[in-house]
Chain A
Amino acid sequence: MEQLFDIKKRIRSVDQIGQLTRAMQLVSAAKMRKSKAQLAQVLPFFSLCAESMLEIQRSNRDIDNPYFRLRKKKLGETWKIGYFILTGDQGLAGAYNHNVIRISEDHIRGKILDNVNKGLKTEYTLYVFGNVGREKLARDGYFVDKEFSFPISEPTYYEARAVADTIRHKYMAGEFDLVYLVYTKMESSINMKPIITRVVPVNTDALVAILPNGTNDAGMALEKGAALTYHPNPEDVFSFLIDTYLNAMLYGALVEAYASEQTARMMAMDNATQSADDMLKDLTLKSNQARQSKITTELIELVNGANQVQ
């Protein structure tokens, strides 16, 4: 019977895909565990930097530092914006890449519209980590810096520092007025949220938002509202703070994005494996039925044949 043969063929292919997704799930699970451990190590550093920035800005409303000052634009002038977008190098991670790309596109469109309404021009450049996002955004007609290519997997602090240096350099040279970072934040092990945050000029509200929940007061050496002094002088301390802050921001975001990607892929592959198993069960049942009915038909044919001979 033709049908039985077809079902067997499908069973084979589903089984093979199932094996593939199961293997990918195992790989992602291993990578996820590793990246989560890395994330747990970087979080205290990351949140301490953010907290210090917050505390210092709170107690010094009038500090004058280019990294804190939002540049002012007159009618007809141009806002130059740099976006650093963290996507994955590979697909098959559920909605992970899609979500990051979607909020980036929404944000860019929103910014342009907003500036047009105010009579300002907008210039933006996208710096995309990960092939999937880079190709998709370039295909969608956004202005992507093609030279910029950076490995997204297993980020190191050293790499983060190189990117942070680029940001610092371009910001101070006036190539950017605003720099945004788009990445996926891990709210919990099953909940990942894409977020956009402004890196420079430093945005205090955004800082509060990216801090891990409930760590707002943890480990502060300084009493709130205490008069602070800076040694040797505020400028030097700030330049170090900004340095460390930018590095920490980038590194934290890279680690978090990588952990999110692996988690998303693991979940997607888990679902795929489960679907494959379900399908396999279904197909096996069908194949058994088909075999059964084939045997029944053959039996009937035999009995009929025997009857006729008699």
Chain B
Amino acid sequence: MTTDTYRQLLGLAAGVMIVAAVLALWRRSLSAIVRILAAQGLALAAIAVLVGAYHHEVSDIAVGGMFVVLKVVVIPAVLLRVVRDTNNQRQSEPLVNVSTTIVGAAILTVVAFAATRGLVGLHPSPEADALPAGFAVVLIAFFGLVVRRNALVQVVGFLMLENGIAAVAVLAGAGISLTVEMAVALDLLLAVLVLQILSARMQTKFGGLELDHLSELTD
């Protein structure tokens, strides 16, 4: 494909990732949020496949395939199972109201783009132009993680954070070989499984996933 098409498609996939992060801040329904996470995973896989196809690197395409299996199929399935088991489709209001959260996300995107200008200028390429999108997703997901009060939504926020970092890893294309990516993904899967088990225990002990229950240990 031509450089221009490549650049456009890459920008498109990066844009979808950011929009998915913003939408996850907006929606209240837990299953919708998990589906948005899956969509973001798909966009991430698209980035990996695009980079691989353009540079003729099979490892990147393989990484993209792994992302599809892990982030679009397996992890959302695990999370949807938790949603079904806790029987609670909605979640409470976040600490800050939704409109403010969303506008905050917009500001964070600009911050991300501004903070990584030096990074982009270091090694100009179509991938470097899309790098700030990964950072933006990281910041937005981190913000969402901090203001939400439901355990499952925190997990989704954490996974979006990881998606953003994986996007930066693929775009930076820097010394992260296939084996390392697989090990990282495995670590991530284990973390999610741990969180799933903890959520199950939380559901049994506290009767819900609202983090307001977790207030015994205070000073």
Q: Do A and B come from one complex?
A: no
B contacts, CB < 8 Å to A: none
